């Protein structure tokens, strides 16, 4: 799948390098060309570099790594996003905004979708630390790594889920509508609570799942309790 990286900082470089290594054609975009060129040279595998608009034109899926959500502030021609699948992996500023739950009233991806109504915005990868992309896809699969996804466009979600599978993540679909996008962004605060305040660093990872049905022959049924 042709990938355009919008912003080639920490996450743009980490995700783009891994996707290039997996055989996806990648163009790194940045407002400073040398940043995109540096990421492309680390990636190899035919990856190229340009400005963000060049990356947006190239990609079928665009990895949106900048918090700026107004395409008019990023592209001379915002119609470059028409019909594109835009994977938004952004979180708010943790130090400044986590206590306010800024996503309660509008998620970053919601705003991005409003400002780019012809794009197909999918939230994903915002709970994945950049260090994770130095772990092989096979090792991530074996560890049961998951990424949450949210968004309204089923086709775009299918594309993003396929990319996530290549990277080693099972996609956990939080659903459609604002609540799903806000929930995904809230989980971005949870992972950083674990990483930063909890001291787990880049090895922290969120997965949700179910365990086998318990047999309860040892501990018995749950008794009434005031503790929750």
Contacts with ligand NAP by CB under 6 A lie at: 7-12, 30-32, 35, 65-68, 73-74, 89-91, 126, 128-130
- Asked whether the beta carbons of 88 and 6 are under 8 A apart, the reply is no
Residue 137 CA: distances (Å) to CA of 53, 81, 98, 134, 170: 29, 29, 30, 9, 11
Nearer to ligand NAP, 64 or 156 (CB): 64
The first and second tokens of residue 110, run together, are 């919601």
- Please state the closest distance from residue 170 (CB atom) to ligand NAP, in A: 17
Distance CA(130)–CA(16), nearest Å, equals 11
- Please state the closest distance from residue 219 (CB atom) to ligand NAP, in A: 38
Nearer to ligand NAP, 8 or 113 (CB): 8
Nearer to ligand NAP, 41 or 228 (CB): 41
Q: What is the CA radius of gyration of the chain?
A: 19
Cβ-closest position to ligand NAP:
9
Nearer to ligand NAP, 2 or 67 (CB): 67
Nearer to ligand NAP, 30 or 137 (CB): 30
- Please state the closest distance from residue 36 (CB atom) to ligand NAP, in A: 9
Distance CA(157)–CA(160), nearest Å, equals 5
Alpha helices by DSSP H, 116-192 = 137-142, 154-167, 177-192
3-class secondary-structure state, position 103: helix
The first and second tokens of residue 105, run together, are 């009233």
- Please state the closest distance from residue 144 (CB atom) to ligand NAP, in A: 19
Angle (deg, nearest 10), helices 10-21 and 154-167: 80
Nearer to ligand NAP, 85 or 126 (CB): 126
- Please state the closest distance from residue 30 (CB atom) to ligand NAP, in A: 5
- Please state the closest distance from residue 146 (CB atom) to ligand NAP, in A: 14
């Amino acid at each position: 799948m042709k990938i355009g990286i919008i912003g080639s900082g920490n996450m743009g470089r980490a995700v783009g390098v891994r996707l290039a290594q997996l055989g996806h054609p990648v163009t790194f975009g940045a407002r400073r060309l040398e940043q995109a060129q540096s990421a492309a040279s680390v990636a190899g595998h035919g990856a190229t570099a340009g400005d963000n608009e060049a990356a947006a034109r190239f990609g079928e899926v665009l990895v949106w790594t900048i918090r700026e959500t107004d395409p008019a502030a990023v592209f001379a021609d915002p119609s470059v996003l028409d019909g594109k699948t835009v994977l938004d992996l952004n979180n708010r500023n943790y130090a400044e905004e986590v206590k306010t739950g800024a996503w309660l009233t509008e998620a970053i991806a919601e705003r991005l979708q409003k400002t780019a109504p012809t794009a197909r915005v999918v939230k994903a990868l915002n709970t994945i630390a950049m260090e994770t992309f130095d772990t092989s896809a096979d090792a991530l699969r074996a560890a049961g790594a998951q990424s949450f996804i949210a968004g309204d466009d089923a086709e775009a979600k299918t594309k993003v889920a396929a990319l996530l599978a290549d990277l080693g993540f099972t996609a956990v679909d939080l659903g459609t509508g604002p609540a799903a996008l806000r929930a995904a962004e809230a989980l971005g605060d949870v992972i950083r609570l674990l990483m930063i305040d909890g001291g787990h660093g880049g090895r922290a990872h969120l997965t949700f799942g179910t365990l086998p049905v318990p047999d309860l022959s040892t501990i018995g049924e749950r008794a009434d309790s005031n503790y929750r």
